[in-house]
Amino acid sequence: MSLAKKLLHTRYRVNDLARTVTFYREVLGLEEVRRHKSPRGSELVFLKAPESQELIEICSFPGSGPVQVQPDLTHLAFEVDSLEAFGRHLATMGLKFSDEPHIREDGSGFAFIDAPEGYEIELMQRGKDGAGY
């Protein structure tokens, strides 16, 4: 029997492909790796964080109906160097955290922002001396 070897990608279906891809590129700094149309007609865009191998697949498939993301259903988590600096970056784009940073005594912490379509993005910073999240 063969077991799963590694995670390749995670897929999020969206209503507005262009808006969502722009958000992931401009707000989070992800790189577009490739895009194509699937045999069934889905428009697919694959994105990657600079220090990750796993991809995020953003999919538009209007034929399957509108996307309605339930609150707290799923989220992606990204490491950032500084939540404070990321907050300043958001402000330059007219955005803000949806859940303000929570910082622990060791300096590690997390915060959330809302992506288009209602998906949540968790941002995490390591603590002093590289301590965990």
Mean pLDDT value of segment 49-76 = 93
Give residue 23's Cα distance to chain centre.
Answer: 9
Do 91 and 50 lie in one domain? The reply is no
User: In this predicted structure, what is the pLDDT of residue 41?
Assistant: 93
* Mean pLDDT of all residues belonging to the chain: 94
- pLDDT band for 47, please (50, 70, 90 cuts): very high
Q: What is the pLDDT of residue 76?
A: 96
Query: At residue 131, does pLDDT exceed 80?
Result: no
pLDDT tens digits for 66-118?
Answer: 999 998 889 999 999 999 999 999 999 999 999 999 999 999 999 999 999 99
Token output for 85: 């600096």
- The answer, yes or no, to whether residue 57 has pLDDT greater than 90, is yes
For the entire predicted model, the pTM comes to 0.92
Domain that holds residue 81: 74-133
Q: Which of 63, 93, 113 is the last residue of a domain?
A: 63
Q: Is residue 40 in some structural domain?
A: yes
What strands lie across the sheet with 120-125, from one edge to the other?
75-79, 120-125, 109-114, 99-103
Report the number of distinct structural domains present in the chain.
2
Whether residue 107 is contained in a domain is answered as: yes
